[in-house]
């Protein structure tokens, strides 16, 4: 039997799986309004293809993938587009983002299904089909899967393809139920991925607290050669790098990806959507989501993307008394929502209504006593304490020296900290600051180049003008007679001064008489065009008309 290679650290969390995994997946009711965000994935926001008033069919593409790292978005049901505007989306900031709002007609009119024979397609065509079906990682990160299914340039040959069914967060059970009920579909999707990646072996990692799921998957895998590997229940075994280590013993390099060591990893639910897209021609328009915690009847729902969280909670019988916070994702890695009027997205695997009992009580933060408990539990083998000191002191360079970006924000360190220091918050803050500084730097560099280009252009124009004046000067005989060298110089200076912008005071006094202004602009020499260079200025009027 296969060997496991335990990763460092991790936590035994209190499990809350039975609250929601006792009942089959229920179909959520079709809501009247669906708010479909155009950014449900990592990468560029999808380009809207519809506008208010358009009629859309179920499964019709409403947002097109924009660039390589992007994913398409589809209408979850048929109806009329009510608006394409910014609406609140599930995000820790609570800020709105561009969404397509669909007024559903209740008819569920599908587009024509176009199942494809994946064995007959060229790999790049197959990846395009998946890209256009809007397939992204459904484990929570929502990274476009088509990108991960392309090995060219990243890895010569893939050793291992891992299907991630670990589901290590204490409250989430959507993958558990999906594997129990739709194991064949998941394996069918896995076959498509295998066809694209041609790995030496396929491993399916499932935590051993899900015996039914393990049994169902093992049965579905019979005869395929895929191996189901039960793994010990230890948070965060579902994190990519930790799972890769656990199953293959390979360490993913710092700032690298599992593909660098010949391993690729997909979530179980992602494989299922691949199956739906290839064998049924259905794009990603719904997902299974766990609604749990302090609601009357927790459970798993297959809901259309764009269904509001409030609707889903309603279908669970509503909130129970004492709900303090609504969390998307698990309690360890999820984030608190500002409102329940936000739509379900591809990344939303769990809605947790947390009461005081589920939340760790807010305890006063005490100074770090350097006990090292955080180091013992860190699954990424970091020194959380050092990271904390440097992040707190805003010494971002030093934090990066301690591999801040290897932190997976699993929350183990915060959970065990006896001083209740919100360690992960410090790391998130530091990471965000570093990214922001990076962006600022790029912007500054762009501004520097543009300024440089402008200075060069002004210099060139000045010289051209001077050259022109020098040519004209001898022709004017009267002036030429008088002109000493100093005289010419004065002339040029005067001309240059004339061409230069007038001080604001003189112009504003002229502004009242419209004519002088017109007169001025008529004289304005070769206008600067935004892109620099000597092109003719292009009037904007044509654009306005269009």
Partner 1 sequence: MIAAIVVLSVMAGVSGLLLGFAAVRFKVEGDPIVDKIDAILPQTQCGQCGYPGCRPYAEAIAAGEADINQCPPGGENGVTALADLLGRDPKPLNAEHGAVKPKMVAVIDEQNCIGCTLCIQACPVDAILGAAKHMHTVIASECTGCELCIAPCPVDCIDMIPVAQTITTWKWTYPAVTAKAAA
For partner 1, the closer of residues 151 and 413 by Cβ is 413
Identified binder of partner 1 from the candidate list 33, 110, 389, 429, rule CB under 8 A: 429
Name the percent of the chain in helix, strand, coil, to the closest 5.
40, 20, 45
Beta pairing, strands 350-355 & 286-293: parallel
Alpha-carbon gap, residue 131 to 146, rounded angstroms = 6
- Binding string, 23-62, against partner 1, x = CB under 8 A? ----------------x-----------------------
Beta pairing, strands 201-207 & 227-231: parallel
Identified binder of partner 1 from the candidate list 156, 367, 475, 497, rule CB under 8 A: 367
Residue 517 within binding range of partner 1, rule CB under 8 A? yes
Identified binder of partner 1 from the candidate list 122, 504, 545, 546, rule CB under 8 A: 504
Query: Which CA distances in Å does 43 have to 65, 147, 431, 452?
Result: 9, 11, 18, 32
The tokens 């060229």 sit on which residue?
122
Residue 95 within binding range of partner 1, rule CB under 8 A? yes
CB of 40 to partner 1, least distance (A): 12
For partner 1, the closer of residues 270 and 414 by Cβ is 414
Identified binder of partner 1 from the candidate list 451, 468, 470, 498, rule CB under 8 A: 451
Beta-strand runs (E) in 217-313: 227-231, 263-267, 286-293, 299-304
For partner 1, the closer of residues 95 and 356 by Cβ is 95
CB of 425 to partner 1, least distance (A): 4
Alpha-carbon gap, residue 419 to 413, rounded angstroms = 11
CB of 6 to partner 1, least distance (A): 31
Tokens of 355: 């009461």
3-state per-residue secondary structure call for 162-222: EEEECCCCCCCCHHHHHHHHCHHHHHHHHHHHHHHHCCCEEEEEEECCCHHHHHHHHHHHC
CB of 441 to partner 1, least distance (A): 8
Beta pairing, strands 55-56 & 33-37: unpaired
Alpha-carbon gap, residue 51 to 331, rounded angstroms = 38
Residue 22 within binding range of partner 1, rule CB under 8 A? no
Identified binder of partner 1 from the candidate list 3, 120, 539, 546, rule CB under 8 A: 539
| Helices assigned H by DSSP within 355-512 | 373-377, 384-392, 396-401, 412-416, 423-475, 477-482, 485-499, 504-511
The tokens 């290897």 sit on which residue?
406
Number of residues that bind partner 1 (CB under 8 A): 59
- Binding string, 409-428, against partner 1, x = CB under 8 A? ----------x-xx--xx-x
Residue 6 within binding range of partner 1, rule CB under 8 A? no
CB of 324 to partner 1, least distance (A): 17
For partner 1, the closer of residues 224 and 506 by Cβ is 506
Residues 452-481 that bind partner 1 (CB under 8 A): 453-454
Residue 1 within binding range of partner 1, rule CB under 8 A? no
Contacting residues for 267 by C-beta, under 8 A, at least 6 apart: 137, 138, 139, 163, 164, 165, 175
Residue 510 within binding range of partner 1, rule CB under 8 A? yes
Binding segment (CB under 8 A) for partner 1, from list 167-175, 353-361, 484-492, 526-534: 526-534
Identified binder of partner 1 from the candidate list 15, 370, 450, 498, rule CB under 8 A: 450
Binding segment (CB under 8 A) for partner 1, from list 76-84, 87-95, 288-296, 324-332: 87-95
What dihedral do alpha carbons 71, 68, 50, 138 form, nearest 10°? 10
Alpha-carbon gap, residue 56 to 50, rounded angstroms = 8
Alpha-carbon gap, residue 185 to 276, rounded angstroms = 8
For partner 1, the closer of residues 39 and 182 by Cβ is 39
For partner 1, the closer of residues 448 and 468 by Cβ is 448
Chain residues binding partner 1 by CB under 8 A are 39, 89, 91-93, 95, 97, 364-368, 419, 421-422, 425-426, 428-429, 431-433, 436, 440, 443-448, 450-451, 453-454, 500-501, 504, 507-508, 510-511, 517-518, 520-522, 524, 527-532, 537-541, 544
């Amino acid at each position: 039997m296969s060997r496991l290679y335990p990763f460092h650290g991790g936590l035994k969390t209190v499990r809350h799986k039975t609250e929601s995994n006792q009942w089959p997946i229920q179909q959520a009711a079709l809501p009247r309004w669906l708010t479909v965000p155009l950014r449900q994935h990592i990468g560029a926001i999808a380009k809207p293809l519809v506008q208010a008033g358009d009629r859309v069919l179920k499964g019709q593409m409403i947002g097109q993938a924009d660039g390589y790292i992007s994913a398409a978005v589809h209408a979850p049901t048929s109806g009329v587009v009510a608006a394409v505007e910014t609406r609140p989306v599930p995000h820790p900031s609570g800020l709105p983002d561009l969404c397509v709002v669909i007024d559903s007609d209740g008819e569920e009119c599908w587009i024509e299904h176009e199942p494809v024979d994946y064995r007959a397609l060229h790999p790049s065509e197959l990846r395009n089909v998946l890209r256009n079906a809007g397939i992204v990682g459904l484990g929570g990160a929502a990274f476009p899967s088509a990108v991960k299914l392309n090995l060219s340039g990243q890895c010569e040959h893939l050793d291992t393809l891992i299907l991630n069914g670990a589901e290590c967060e204490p409250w989430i059970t959507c993958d558990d139920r999906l594997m129990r009920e739709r194991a064949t579909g998941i394996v069918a999707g896995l076959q498509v991925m295998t066809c694209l990646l041609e790995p030496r072996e396929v491993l399916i990692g499932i935590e051993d607290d899900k015996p039914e799921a393990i049994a169902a998957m093992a049965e579905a895998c019979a005869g395929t050669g895929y191996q189901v590997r039960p793994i010990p229940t230890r948070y965060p075994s579902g994190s990519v790098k930790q799972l890769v280590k656990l199953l293959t013993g390979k360490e993913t390099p710092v700032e690298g990806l599992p593909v660098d060591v010949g391993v690729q990893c997909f979530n179980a639910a992602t494989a299922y959507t691949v199956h739906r897209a290839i064998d049924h021609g259905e794009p990603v328009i719904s997902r299974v989501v766990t609604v749990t915690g302090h609601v009357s009847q927790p459970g798993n729902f297959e809901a259309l993307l764009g269904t509001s969280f409030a609707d889903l909670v309603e279908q669970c019988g509503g909130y129970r008394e004492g709900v303090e916070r609504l969390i998307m994702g698990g309690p360890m890695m999820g984030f608190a929502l500002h409102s329940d009027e936000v739509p379900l997205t591809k990344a939303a695997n769990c809605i947790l209504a947390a009461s005081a009992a589920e939340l760790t009580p807010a305890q006063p933060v005490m100074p770090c006593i350097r006990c090292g408990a955080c180091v013992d539990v860190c699954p990424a083998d970091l020194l959380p304490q050092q990271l904390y000191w440097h992040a707190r002191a805003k010494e971002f360079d030093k934090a990066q020296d301690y591999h801040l970006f290897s932190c997976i924000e699993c929350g183990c360190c915060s959970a065990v900290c006896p001083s209740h220091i919100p360690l992960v918050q410090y790391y998130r803050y530091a990471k965000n600051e570093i990214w922001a500084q990076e962006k600022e730097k790029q912007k500054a560099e762009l501004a520097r180049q543009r300024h440089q280009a402008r200075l060069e252009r002004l210099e060139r124009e000045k010289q051209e003008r001077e050259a022109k004046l020098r040519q004209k000067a001898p022709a004017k005989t009267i002036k030429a007679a008088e002109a000493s060298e100093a005289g010419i110089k004065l002339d040029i200076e005067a001309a240059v001064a004339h061409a230069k912008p007038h001080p604001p005071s003189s112009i504003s006094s002229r502004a009242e008489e419209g004519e002088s202004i017109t007169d001025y602009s008529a004289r304005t020499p070769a206008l600067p065009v935004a892109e620099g260079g000597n092109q003719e200025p292009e009037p904007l009027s044509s654009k306005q008309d269009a």
